[in-house]
Amino acid sequence: MGAGPQATYKVEQQPRAGSCHYRYTKDGEPLPDPRCTPGAISPAVTQANLAQTICRKGGYTKGIRPPVSITGQEKKLNAAAYGYKGSLSEAEYDHKLSLQLGGDPNDARNLWVQPPDPGHKPGGGINNKKDPVETKLHTAVCSGKVTLAAAQNAIATDWTTALQSLGLG
Whole-number Å distance between alpha carbons of 29 and 27: 6
Q: What is the pLDDT of residue 122?
A: 66
Q: What is the pTM of this model?
A: 0.92
Whole-number Å distance between alpha carbons of 127 and 130: 9
Residues 158, 31 contacting (CB under 8 angstroms): yes
Residues 127, 117 contacting (CB under 8 angstroms): yes
From first to last of its 169 residues, what are the pLDDT tens digits of the chain?
Answer: 999 999 999 999 999 999 999 999 998 889 999 999 999 999 999 999 999 999 998 889 989 999 999 999 999 999 999 999 998 988 999 999 999 999 999 999 999 999 987 776 666 655 678 989 999 999 999 999 999 999 999 999 999 999 999 999 8
Q: Where are the domains of the chain?
A: 23-127
How many secondary structure helices (H) and strands (E) does the chain include? 5, 4
Length of the chain in residues, anyone? 169
Q: What is the pLDDT of residue 90?
A: 86
